[in-house]
Structure formats: structure tokens, C-alpha cells
Chain A
């Protein structure tokens, strides 16, 4: 199984800040990583797929990068609506696995 270790578990930030979240995989693979945003009481929403492709309708302040064993989500210029929990997920092999989540709060 590919385990995804996500860090940091939480980060406190202010509007306008840049936040970087990292996922490290136990086994290297190409680029089948997705990033999701989840707000309380809501289903996750996909932001990034294939490591760096922005889902339609997602603001360009979200950027994904990486390959192999290290993948990163960067949010540049945090907006009030970005305070949420973020998860990475590997879509390379079964079983599908998620990172533990990163809570971004004020």
C-alpha cells in the first residue's frame, strides 16, 4: 500500500498569507495525486488532480506540484473562504489512500 504522510497537521495563517502543505508517499509514483478542500459538515471538494492540474472553477491561487514521493499544495494569498481542512490522496494504485489532513485556520 502507498501511505501518504501529510504535514503539517494544522497551520494558523492570516488573510493574504501563503500556505504550503506537503504529502510524502511511501512509494514513488508518477503524478496521480489529488488535493481536496473540506469545510465543516460538507463533502470534500476536489481542487487539484494529476498533481498539478487545477479543477475547473478553482481559483488560480491554488497550485499543486511534485512527483515521485513528494507532493505540495500551495495557497498563495489566502482568502477568508480558504480556511478549511485539506487532504491529499493518491490515485495511483489500490487501495486508494488519503493523507491525514491539514487544518488551515485563522
Chain B
């Protein structure tokens, strides 16, 4: 069973760049037929998909965030990352990384514990 762990600063200043890493253990990102995903949850709100990256590096983003978000994968370190530029208070949220189920099912089977990022 893979384990996912988010890491990164818990506090980011407005208009700066939010950078998070998801470290994966118990399975290799490289050559795996999974999408690796970032999902966030604003305080007291629902789940919001941010974007996905395949092990090849191909990406998909939420349209309203495209232009501010970059998701990339580093197979040598078995991790993937999220960068979000020009953050505002509206980007304050718990950020989760997740892996899909595989076998062409893109439900989110494995989740990290989440990391709270406050923009202030």
C-alpha cells in the first residue's frame, strides 16, 4: 500500500508562491500507470481538485487555476510537487496529495494526511 506525505511551508505571504511536495513510499511513481493528484479543502468547505500528473509528466489542471498552478513529478526522488503562484487568502486550505485507483479508474484511493497552508 503506498503512503503519501505532503510537506512544505505552512505559511505563505500573499502574492508569493506556494510550494508543496508529496513524497511517496511503498510504491514507485516511475512506470506506474497512475495519476498523482493535488486536492485542497478550504476551511469549512468541500473538496476541490487542483490537478493531476501522470508519471510521464503529462498534466491536467482545474481550468480556473490554470496559469497559476504547476504540478510536476520527480521519479528519481519518488515525489511530485505543486507550485501555485500569486496566492491570496482564498488559497488558504488543507492541501492533500492523492493517488488514483488505477486500472482506468481515476477515483482517489490513497491520500496523504493533508497539510494546512495559510496565506497571510
By a beta-carbon cutoff of 8 Å, the part of chain A in contact with chain B is 1, 32, 34, 36, 38, 42-46, 49-50, 55, 87, 89, 91, 94-101
Task: Give the interface size bracket for B toward A.
Answer: 20 to 34
Once the chains bind, are B60 and A91 in contact (CB under 8 Å)?
A: no
Once the chains bind, are B108 and A46 in contact (CB under 8 Å)?
A: yes
Instruction: Give the contacting residue for A32; candidates B47, B106, B109; CB below 8 A.
Output: B106
CB contact under 8 A between A98 and B49, given known A43-B96, A91-B100: yes
CB contact under 8 A between A95 and B49, given known A32-B105, A32-B106, A49-B101: yes
Number of A-B contacts (CB under 8 A): 61
Chain B, residues 95-120, CB within 8 Å of chain A (1/0): the string is 01000110001111101111000000
What is the distance, in angstroms, from A42's C-beta to the closest C-beta of chain B?
8
By CB atoms of chain B within 10 A, which of A1, A34, A42 has the most? A34
Interface of B, secondary structure class, is strand
By a beta-carbon cutoff of 8 Å, the part of chain B in contact with chain A is 37, 46-49, 52, 60-63, 96, 100-101, 105-109, 111-114
Residues of A within 8 A of B113 (CB): 42-43
Complexed CA–CA distance, A82 and B60 (Å): 33
Residues of B within 8 A of A97 (CB): 49
